[in-house]
Every structure is written in C-alpha cells, then in structure tokens.
Structure 1
C-alpha cells in the first residue's frame, strides 16, 4: 500500500500528538502543524524516535492569524507533491478565564476564528493539492458541544462566555463541513466532522476547570478511522459521534442558516475560490 501524506493541525499536544504518533506507526507520512517552534520540533523528534521509518515534516503557523493560515497553505502546496488527508484538529477551548473575550489577529472572536475560520480557510487553500491527490479526505475535529449561532451577534459581543463561544464555533465547523462536502461532490475529496471523545485528558479541558473523563486514545481511534478506513473512502458530509454516524445540532441542517454562515465566512476569509 502507498504511504499516505497527512497534515495534522494542532499536533504538538493532546489529540493531535496522539493522531500523529498513531499514523506514523502505520508508516504514513505525517505533516505536523504547531504554533510554537520548540514544541513542534519536540513532537517531531518524538514521532521519529517512536516510528523511525516514518517521514515527518513540520509547518509553523498561528491559526489565530489568517495571514499565517494562507502562508502555511502556500508552503504546503510548494513543498508537498500530494496530500491524502487534512485533519483540522487545532482548537481554542473555553479558556482559563472564560469571561475574558479574546480576539484573533484580524479582530474576530478567537474561538470562531481558530475553530472555524482557520480550518475552513486552510482547507480551501489546500483544495488544489487535495483534489489532485484524490481520493483524499478532510476530517474536521468538532465536538458534541454545539450551540445555536446567533447571526445578530456571531462574534458574541454580548454575554460572552468561553465555552459558549467554543460550542458555537464547533457548530460552525460542522455546518461548513456539510457545505464543503456538497460542493466537492464528484472531486474525490470527502469532508466529515466528528466528536472524537467526551472530555479527553487535554490541557484545554483542564484549563477550563473541567475534569477529564476519557483518555486521549479514546479520541485518537475514531479520528484515525475517518482518515484511514477504506470502507469510508466515499463517505462524506457526515457528523460522527466517535464511531457512530450521528445527528448534529438542528441548526446544522437549516439550509438558510448554513448559507448565512458561508456568506459571512467567505467575506471574512477573503472570498477564496475552489480550485478546479
């Protein structure tokens, strides 16, 4: 079997690190993204040490800055001959100070920017490579925590709370996954979202003050399945609760709401076009 090339965002800790270690052990080529060079290099060294035969390359970018997102995508397109899967895993959680509203480099609410705008912009920018590598997969790491998007206050300027912002951003990610899956029908590129596991033992869970309920491995297994399972090669436009094809929040199936979200999203990321 050919070695797949897989880009994992947020690979320096938690779920992303676990996914990278699992895929490298399978002999895949792993492209690791992180925003801190020291941590990124440390994880790359760890992956190489545990899977000496694996090919490992790194990409540095702060996903809270859309200019960094576009620059990283350009670097990947220039350096990689193929991309078999993109795992949008990087996340801004509820935060250690959940009542403190934070902004991205472009002035957007931070959770909405990192958890929705950045992965969508990155995916669109990498579509030329994904399409020429097809069959290829986009796996968006979402959450069972989803909250209705108020289009009169998308950036939560009123009544801000970090977990609420996180849940809205994850619903936005799922809605965008459904839209992109439909748009890419027939290209050989699939797009799915999943809730990997409940309250994994991650820094984000602990920083918000929650008690972890499951191990990171519980989230690695269903995520890697969406990346590698041959039975899912043509499955697209779905939301999975771990291994189960499940229903997302009701708003994810509201066509008008999805169109409003996508119009806003395209405006905020600069009207990127699907490459043909």
Structure 2
C-alpha cells in the first residue's frame, strides 16, 4: 500500500519534513503514516531496519529510513549527520520501552537504567541534535510522547511511570527555552492503546487474578470515562491536530478516553 497525500496547503504539516522515532511498529508506524497522508515527508527511525522498511513501503516515496538507537549519543550524532540534507522541522519522539513489571525492590538496576536510557535520554539526545536547525530556521515542532502513566499510579511499573514523568518535566522546561526562538515543544500523553501490548497485559492480569481475559479487560476499561481505550489512529490524529495549533507550547495533551478524569 502506498500512502496518497491528502494534506492541505496551510503549511502546518504539508510540505514539511518530520522525523518519527520508534517508527517501525505500533504508534510510531501509525503516526508516520498519518503524517505522510497529511503531506509531510517522513524520516522513519528505529532499531529494526526490516520493520522500518515495511512501513516505508506502505508510505511510498514520501518516506526515508534511517536506523538509529536513540539511547546512544554516537548513533544520534550519526543520524543527524546522515539527514543533514533534510530540513527537519517536525520531531516526534515516540521511541520507548515498557520496562519491567515488578515491585520497586525487585527491579534490577540495569533494567531501571535501560528504561531511562530510551524513554528519557533518547528524548534529550534527539532534541539536543535536532533543535539547532529548527532554531536556525526559526520554526519547529517537537512532540514528545509521554503517557497518562506519568500522571497516575501504575502498580509494579515504577521505572516506566517515573520515566514518563521525567519527559513531562523535560518538555515543559524546554518549551520555555526554545519557544521564544520559534520552536513549539509539547507532550502527548496517550492512555492505554488498543493493540497486542494491552492484549498481553490482559492475559497476564487474568492469569494473576484467576479471572477471564474479558473480565480483566472490562475491569480495566471501567476506569475510563469513555469505558474504552484509545486507538493508534486517534493518537496519530492528535499529533496532526497539535501541529495545527500554533499557540500550543509547553502543553501536555491527555488522550486517554478519560482514564485520569476521576
């Protein structure tokens, strides 16, 4: 399938170059496809070339693939050099890992560090190396993917929740640093997203509690005001909406079907 651009001509997305990290599957894949549909040229980054190539094939000529481990300073520097011919004015820091599911006292130090390396250090490195060009041209949009889990308790997931709260803090401060220079920095905080990851979580919860998978799912979604989870497409469309809001800077957009509404 090749994406056919349906973007407008207002310049909020169409005609710009966007870089999406973690673009090989899940949210990153859908965000990249949706940006291309809106008329952007999209650079897909991640650690798995085969997955990135598959997404690029879906998108077509508007996509470019660059393999990169965003937790590595050397790799991000190399990425920046490799795409020096591109004017990247949209950066979506989507790459992330879920980390261990365990009580804090049982979390291994290396596992803790691995979560922060991708979820926080990776965001920092990408911003550090791609901001200078945005500042030079006087325009840019950075959307850092956080999570409602950075704003509410999530049992046995301390490394993940702490890392996402760190992203919120990084974003709000960076927005005040570079907002006056023409760069908007915001976070998008999805709630649980429909898909294989949540299906696995429900299966594990059902096994742990001795209930059915459907019962585990029903109990979970009952916490949301809309009594459901969000979809990958809803998250991707939120990215597009944020890019059409020039006054949005230093904001955190909650897209959780009301998971933290009460």
TM-score by length of 1: 0.71
Q: Which moved more, 1:85-94 or 1:95-104?
A: 95-104
Q: Over the residues paired in the alignment, what is the CA RMSD in angstroms?
A: 2.8
**Counterpart-to-counterpart distance in 1, 2:49 and 2:162:** 30
Match of 1:11?
A: 23
Q: Is residue 42 of structure 1 aligned with residue 54 of structure 2?
A: yes
From 120, 128, 137, give the equivalent of 1:133. 137
- Number of aligned residues: 219
The equivalent of 1:79 in structure 2 is 85
Report matched runs for 1:239-254 at 5 Å.
Answer: 239-242=252-255
Structure-2 separation of matches of 1:126 and 1:9: 12
Instruction: Verify: 1:90 aligned to 2:74, yes or no.
Output: no
Correspondence for 1:143 among 144, 147, 153: 147
Shift of residue 206 of structure 1?
Answer: 4.4
DSSP-derived class of the 2:159 partner: helix
C-alpha deviations, 1:61-94, integer Å up to 9, x for none? 1223332223222323x231x1121000111113
* CA distance 1:61–1:162, shift in 2 (3 Å): farther
Structure 2 unmatched ranges of 5 or more? 1-8, 206-216, 222-228
Q: Secondary structure at the match of 1:185?
A: helix
Tell me, yes or no, if the aligned pair for 1:33 and 1:61 is still in contact at 8 Å: yes
What's the CA shift string for 1:208-243, capped at 9, x where partnerless? 5475833211222212211x31xx213211111139
Which of 190, 194, 199 is matched with 1:201 structurally? 194
Matched residue, 1:186: 180
Which structure's CA Rg is the greater one? 2
Per the alignment, residue 51 of structure 1 pairs with: none
- C-alpha spacing 1:234/1:215, structure 2 compared with 1 (3 Å): closer
Q: Specify the SS of the correspondent of 1:233.
A: coil
Q: Is the 8 A contact 2:172 2:186 kept in 1?
A: yes
Q: Note the 1:44-83 alignment, pairs <5 A.
A: 44-48=56-60, 54-76=61-83, 78-80=84-86, 82-83=87-88
- Counterparts of 2:72 and 2:195 in 1: how far apart (Å)? 23
**Greater CA drift, 67-76 or 170-179:** 67-76
TM-score normalized by structure 2?
Answer: 0.74
